[in-house]
């Protein structure tokens, strides 16, 4: 039995802010991410390899806030965070404030497989990527015109005291998977939020907060206001409710996302999977880029409330 779920962030634009063609292009990249992860699982690959493959596709897409096209900080730099976790061993790797590693999720996995340090930050993380043969690029590689314009808008909103929309605040990508051996894994990658302070690190690279996986319970990847995900230790909290209270995944995820986080008035969403391949994608915003492949191989993608059934793999 295999299954896969992804998200592309709950900071989704209002339906009217993008053309039908732009929404279709974003959904196409969600589908490609699902196909990439599913190919790994279908050929007997690990859940870890599957979530990495899915996240890499979204890091390469300009439609999501991770890797190429990520949000820019106050200095106009893409400072990238990522992590990955293996539910079988509880092995984990995380990186923050990366500015040269082309695919931060690959760097997180390389760090995990080094079986030593769990987390590296800034230039040291980029140096690790280069030393271990991963592709590095100039920091300007990640910067797109869309994100330059978003930074200008956000600075204007800050000056005028105008609240930002969920789409302007944040975004993240992530994946969870169950492989044929019954192992779970999760991975998450982000640029944080537009105009974030230099040096700010959110929940994405914090194991147990934005990313968590434990065989026998669940794998979780989150998106939203990272400071609250850290305070509530969201991924671990969902797993703990399942382990200690006997709640199923849907109940535990709903409690954390729709009650614990929602009462703070912050946007939040997750994709999560349990050991039987059951997937949940709760979110409390207008929409969330998301997709999943069921244990029967049926591909679903969505941005707002309408779910598209795409194909059977």
Q: Convert the pLDDT of each residue in 164-197 to its tens digit.
A: 766 666 689 999 999 999 999 999 999 999 999 9
pLDDT band, residue 23 (cuts 50/70/90): confident
- CA proximity to 92, closest of 77, 62, 64, 114: 114
| pLDDT higher than 70, residue 124 | yes
> Has this prediction a pTM greater than 0.85?
yes
Residue 17 DSSP SS3: helix
- Sequence-distant (6+) residues with CB within 8 A of 180 are 1, 2, 41, 44
- Sequence-distant (6+) residues with CB within 8 A of 219 are 47, 51, 85, 87, 176, 177, 178, 184, 185, 186, 212, 213, 272, 273
Out of 7-21, 59-73, 101-115, 244-258, which region has the weakest mean confidence (pLDDT)?
A: 7-21
Tokens of 223: 């998106």
Tell me, what's the pLDDT at 19?
75
Distance CA(97)–CA(26), nearest Å, equals 25
pLDDT band, residue 125 (cuts 50/70/90): very high
Output the average pLDDT for the chain: 94
82 neighbors 226 (Cβ within 8 angstroms): no
Tell me, what's the pLDDT at 47?
98
| pLDDT higher than 90, residue 134 | yes
| pLDDT higher than 90, residue 109 | yes
8 neighbors 224 (Cβ within 8 angstroms): no
pLDDT band, residue 63 (cuts 50/70/90): very high
Tell me, what's the pLDDT at 6?
98
Sheet holding 218-224, edge to edge: 211-214, 218-224, 268-274, 279-280
Active site residue 223: no
- CA proximity to 66, closest of 225, 187, 155, 177: 187
Tell me, what's the pLDDT at 164?
73
pLDDT in tens, 71-87: 999 999 999 999 999 99
Tell me, what's the pLDDT at 286?
87
Strand partners, 212: 220
Tell me, what's the pLDDT at 22?
80
Tell me, what's the pLDDT at 200?
96
| pLDDT higher than 70, residue 16 | no
Q: Which range of residues forms the domain containing residue 108?
A: 3-312
Mean pLDDT (whole number) for 94-109: 98
- CA proximity to 117, closest of 140, 134, 96, 101: 96
- Quickly list DSSP for 210-241: TEEEETTTEEEEEEE-HHHHHHHTHHHHHHHH
**Kind of pairing, strands 279-280 and 268-274?**
antiparallel
Residue with the larger pLDDT of the pair 273 and 287: 273
Tell me, what's the pLDDT at 295?
93
**Kind of pairing, strands 218-224 and 307-312?**
unpaired
Mean pLDDT (whole number) for 205-227: 97
- Give the CATH number for residue 163: 3.60.20.30
Number of independent structural domains in the chain: 1
Tell me, what's the pLDDT at 266?
84
Choose the catalytic residue: 16, 121, 162, 172: 172
Tell me, what's the pLDDT at 110?
98
| pLDDT higher than 70, residue 114 | yes
Mean pLDDT (whole number) for 185-214: 97
Distance CA(46)–CA(30), nearest Å, equals 20
């Amino acid at each position: 039995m295999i299954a896969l779920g992804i998200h592309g962030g709950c900071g989704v634009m209002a339906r009217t802010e993008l053309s039908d063609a732009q929404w279709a292009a974003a959904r196409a990249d969600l589908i490609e991410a699902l196909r990439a992860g599913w190919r790994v699982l279908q050929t007997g690959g690990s859940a870890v390899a599957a979530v990495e493959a899915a996240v890499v596709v979204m890091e390469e897409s300009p439609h999501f806030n991770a890797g190429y096209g990520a949000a820019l900080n106050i200095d106009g730099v893409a400072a990238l965070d990522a992590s990955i976790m293996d539910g079988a061993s509880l092995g984990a790797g995380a990186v923050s404030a990366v500015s040269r590693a082309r695919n931060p999720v690959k760097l997180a996995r390389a760090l995990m497989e080094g079986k030593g340090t769990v987390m590296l930050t800034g230039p040291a993380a980029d140096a690790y990527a280069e030393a271990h043969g991963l592709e590095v690029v100039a920091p300007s590689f990640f910067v797109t015109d869309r994100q330059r314009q978003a930074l200008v808008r956000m600075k204007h909103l800050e000056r005028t005291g105008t609240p930002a929309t969920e789409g302007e605040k944040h975004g993240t990508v992530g994946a969870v998977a169950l492989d044929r051996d019954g192992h779970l894994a999760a991975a998450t990658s982000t640029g944080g939020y537009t105009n974030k302070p230099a040096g700010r690190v959110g929940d994405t690279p914090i194991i147990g907060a934005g990313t968590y996986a434990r065989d026998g319970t669940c794998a979780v990847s989150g998106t939203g206001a990272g400071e609250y995900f850290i305070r509530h230790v969201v991924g671990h909290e969902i797993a703990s409710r399942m382990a200690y209270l006997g709640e199923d995944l849907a109940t535990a995820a709903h409690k954390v996302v729709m009650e614990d986080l929602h009462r703070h008035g912050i946007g939040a969403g997750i994709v999560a999977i349990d050991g039987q391949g059951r997937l949940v994608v709760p979110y409390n915003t207008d929409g969330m880029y998301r997709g999943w492949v069921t244990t029967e191989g049926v591909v679903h993608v969505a941005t707002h409330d309408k779910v598209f059934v795409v194909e059977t793999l």
